[in-house]
């Protein structure tokens, strides 16, 4: 079987690409204990030939940065997380989740950011409307560092609001 880009995984299997006769190059993981004979045979062949790259643990900083870029929650779940962390009240969480009000913590942070020039005065209303109406709140949204600074939250505490990065 034709393969390329063979590399060990953390658990000793081998990730590679195989040249499938109908669809071309596709990802494949070969295992010594594969339930399919072709998987066991490929593992043996790659191991015998020895052209397999060693396992490299992912860089934690890169994984964390990527997680933060992609982490988001529906506004309803973020409101719940903020209430559980006691940044807002349960009543504020209910109102925010329904889109009928902005919690005091968020409103005060917006006003502080406008006063500090972090949010231009002419964008105040659009930010307030976005806070009430956006369906998802991203970990890297522009308002998140403002909220964090207003409550003296560490990056790890902010990550916790989004469920925390994978370990």
Within 10 A of 49 (CB to CB), how many other CB atoms are there? Answer: 10
- CA 97 to mean position of chain CA atoms: 21
State how far the Cα of 7 lies from the Cα of 26, in Å rounded to an integer. 15
pTM, 2 dp: 0.66
Residue-range domain boundaries for the chain: 3-49, 63-161
Measured distance CA(106)–CA(111) in Å, rounded: 9
pLDDT tens over the chain, length 167 residues: 899 999 999 999 999 999 999 999 999 999 999 999 999 999 999 999 989 999 988 788 888 999 999 999 999 999 999 999 999 999 999 999 999 999 999 999 999 999 999 999 999 999 999 999 999 999 999 999 999 999 999 999 999 999 998 77
Closest CA to 127 of 140, 117, 114, 145: 114
| Beta-sheet pairing, 14-20 with 24-30 | antiparallel
């Amino acid at each position: 079987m034709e393969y390329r880009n063979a590399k060990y995984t953390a658990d000793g299997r081998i990730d590679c690409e195989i040249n499938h006769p109908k669809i071309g190059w596709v990802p494949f993981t070969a295992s010594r204990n594969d339930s399919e004979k072709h998987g066991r045979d490929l593992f043996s062949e790659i191991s015998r030939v020895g052209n397999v790259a060693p396992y490299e643990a992912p860089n934690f900083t890169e994984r964390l940065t990527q997680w933060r870029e992609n982490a988001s929650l529906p506004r309803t779940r973020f409101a719940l997380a903020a209430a559980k962390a006691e940044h807002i009240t349960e009543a504020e969480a209910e109102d925010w989740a329904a889109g009928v009000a902005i919690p005091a913590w968020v409103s005060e942070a917006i006003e502080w950011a406008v006063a500090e020039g972090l949010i231009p005065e002419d964008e105040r209303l659009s930010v307030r409307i976005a806070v009430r109406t956006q369906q998802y709140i991203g970990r890297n949204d522009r308002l998140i560092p403002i909220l964090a600074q207003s409550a003296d939250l560490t990056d790890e505490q902010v990550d916790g609001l989004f469920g925390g990065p994978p370990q």
